[in-house]
Chains A and B, each alone.
Chain A
Amino acid sequence: MSEPLKNKDLLGQVLLGKEAVLAGLPEHPAVKAILAWNPEALVDAKFQFAELTLTIAASHLRAAAESVQAAGYNFMEDMTAVDWFPSSPRFQLSYHILSHSLKERIRLVAMVDGSQPSIESITPVWPSANYYEREVFDLFGISFEGHPNLRRIMMPEEWTGHPLRKDYPVEGYR
């Protein structure tokens, strides 16, 4: 395993765009893992606030998760979505992956369209994604292919609409 990355040294540094990140952080284990796996799938990248964001083409997300897992990012800490309504593509899925050995965290991002949004489930890679994906399905209406039990988790089964979408009013429909 390589040396723990000292993100503190890079705290003020901002690298925007794929080229800048590839030039600025060529030795980063996650960047190396993604490049070794499939450089084409890396759509965009960003290094800001000492956090690395790698944007992956939505159709390759599960494979990207597998490749960063093999590179030592062993723990899926968090997963959620952001609704960028009305811009397109509408939904941003953010996965925060922690490495216990490197003591460092990366963010994988995938963008999906607003009409019938869908993406591959990462439960085969990290079973802990189960509840997180159900929550995103419930509150954003994004479906996850290959999820073992894709049902609403917070809202009642018969609820209509997805409350965390930006076109859903804060006080609900009355």
Chain B
Amino acid sequence: MTETTGTPILEAPVAEGAHDQHMVLNMGPQHPATHGVLRLVLEVDGEIVVRLYPEIGYLHTGIEKTCEAKFYQQVVPLTDRVNYLDPMSNNLCYALAVEKLLGLEIPDKGQWLRVLLAELSRLNSHLIWLGTHAMDIGALTVFLYTFREREEILRLFEALAGQRMMTSYIRIGGVSMDPPLDFLHRVQQFIRTLPEKIDEYSNLLTGNPIFRNRLMDVGHLSAADTIALGVTGPPLRASGVDVDLRRDMPYSSYEKFQFAVPISNGCDCWARYEVRLIEMRESIKIIQQALDGMPEGSYSAVAPKIILPDREKMKTQMEALIHHFKIVTEGFAVPAGEVYQGIEAGHGQTGYYVVSDGTAKPYRVHMRYPSFATLQALETMCKGRMLADVVAVIGSIDIVLGEIDR
């Protein structure tokens, strides 16, 4: 049984005048420190938070309903838009789930490219987290530095997929095309300089007394509470729980890569900061291994009825043209069944639950995104603490409202 210590079960929202000596304060949905459109209703006693109630749904687009009306391959661009800071992980998770239903085997090159891109995407996500988190605390400089490196990742994505943020590069059956000739070289150049850049951020923040005081012993969350409240990813590992799906339930040939999983027993915002910084360094190691061992061969599976043919072939070969026409107009049928695929994305465990009824459109697509569950732990972390700590805690759990509301 899970032992929980003071875990709240989020009750009805705070009502005005419920306790006369307390003040009800509204934070968001347009507050810059809420990273999007999160609204918090806070009951405060002076500067102490007594209760906290998150109101979500301002960004709800019904993306799961939209998926049911699209062909399987048309869902890929929708997945980009859920967590717009970590696009490759979304694509990857959905593609892995559908491939499981179809029983497709992806060649090594496709797998290696996917690992490389998922890690670049994680770096992208962590760089934005670090910049915005530091900015919330008042250290504006770091934001400018991290966005400089993030810009380079976006340029790499643009060279690869033609799109900076909504890449849709990882497709069902592999990836959409061969990377450009100098792409791997550019990635190599980028990760060669990145460790120094991370040292630079660390120099600005780790020894900074304001930053330390704002994060240390703030937002305490015990290991039992993280599990009870469904917290995953870096906040889970910062509470001393040693779980990383890349290592524990490997997908996309992660078992062939060597990397360490950083753990901390700090349980506070500072521990989350440290864990993510080490994770960025480990991501660089994974990317280096992927570059060094990048296999030759095809980047996608052999399945002409599922994967769009090469542009060249489509224009010269009759059969390829027919397949192209069929996939675009009718989609492809996926055997009936239900699968759940979980991966370790930048924010935590992402999961896609895909139910097929044997037609060309998914019967149901459910997306499990880490921020949705992590948000439930916010009250536990903020209760009884100062109002200003709420901003530090929101930054430390790294939420994206797009994936909370979907």
Contact = CB atoms under 8 A, between A and B. Distances in A.
Interface of A: 48-49, 51, 53, 69-70, 74-78, 80, 82-83, 94, 96, 98, 100, 103-105, 107, 123, 126-128, 130-132, 139, 148-149, 151-156, 163-164, 168, 170
Closest 10 CB pairs of A and B: A128-B230, A78-B368, A80-B366, A148-B9, A154-B57, A154-B60, A103-B248, A170-B69, A82-B364, A128-B229
A69 B264 CA distance: 25
Contacts of A151: 12
Contacts of B228: 126-128
Given A77-B232, A149-B10, 13 more contacts: A76-B230, A78-B353, A105-B342, A127-B4, A127-B7, A128-B376, A131-B10, A148-B9, A149-B11, A154-B60, A154-B405, A155-B57, A164-B65
A51 B373 contact: no
Interface in B282-305: none
B68 A131 contact: no
Contacts of A168: 65
B28 to A, nearest CB: 16
A170 B364 CA distance: 13
A11 B284 CA distance: 32
A90 to B, nearest CB: 13
A48 B180 CA distance: 38
A64 to B, nearest CB: 15
Contacts of B57: 152-156
B9 A51 contact: no
Given A78-B368, A103-B248, A148-B10, A53 B338 contact: yes
Interface residues of B, number: 48
B376 A49 contact: no
A70 B1 contact: yes
Interface string B164-179: 0000000000000000
A126 B353 contact: no
A53 B8 CA distance: 30
Interface of B: 1-2, 4, 7-12, 56-57, 60, 62, 64-66, 68-69, 100-101, 227-230, 232, 241, 243, 248-249, 337-340, 342, 349, 351, 353, 355, 363-364, 366, 368, 372-373, 375-376, 405-406
A123 B405 contact: no
B38 to A, nearest CB: 13
B373 A131 contact: yes
Contacts of A94: 338, 353, 366
Contacts of B353: 78, 80, 94, 96
A33 to B, nearest CB: 13
A107 B60 CA distance: 27
Contacts of B351: 77-78, 96
Given A107-B340, A153-B57, A69 B375 contact: no
| Interface of chain B: mostly helix, strand, loop or mixed | mixed
Nearest to A103: B248
B195 to A, nearest CB: 31
Contact of A48 (B56, B229, B232, B337): B337
A122 B373 CA distance: 15
A170 B229 contact: no
Contacts of B241: 100
A164 B62 CA distance: 8
A5 to B, nearest CB: 11
Contact of B9 (A69, A130, A153): A130
Which residue among A126, A127, A156, A163 has the maximum number of chain B CB atoms within 10 Å of its CB? A127
B54 to A, nearest CB: 9
Contacts of A163: 62, 65
Contacts of B366: 78, 80, 94
A41 to B, nearest CB: 20
A155 B60 contact: yes
Given A78-B353, A82-B364, A127-B7, A170 B68 contact: yes
21 contacts: A48-B337, A49-B100, A49-B339, A51-B340, A74-B227, A75-B227, A75-B230, A77-B342, A78-B366, A83-B364, A100-B241, A103-B249, A104-B249, A123-B9, A126-B228, A131-B375, A131-B376, A149-B9, A149-B10, A156-B57, A170-B68
B2 A149 contact: no
A104 B248 CA distance: 9
A156 B57 CA distance: 8
A126 B364 contact: no
Contacts of B68: 170
Contact of A126 (B2, B62, B363): B2
A49 B101 contact: yes
Which residue among A126, A154, A168 has the maximum number of chain B CB atoms within 10 Å of its CB? A154
A78 B4 contact: no
A133 B121 CA distance: 31
Nearest to B368: A78
A74 B2 contact: yes
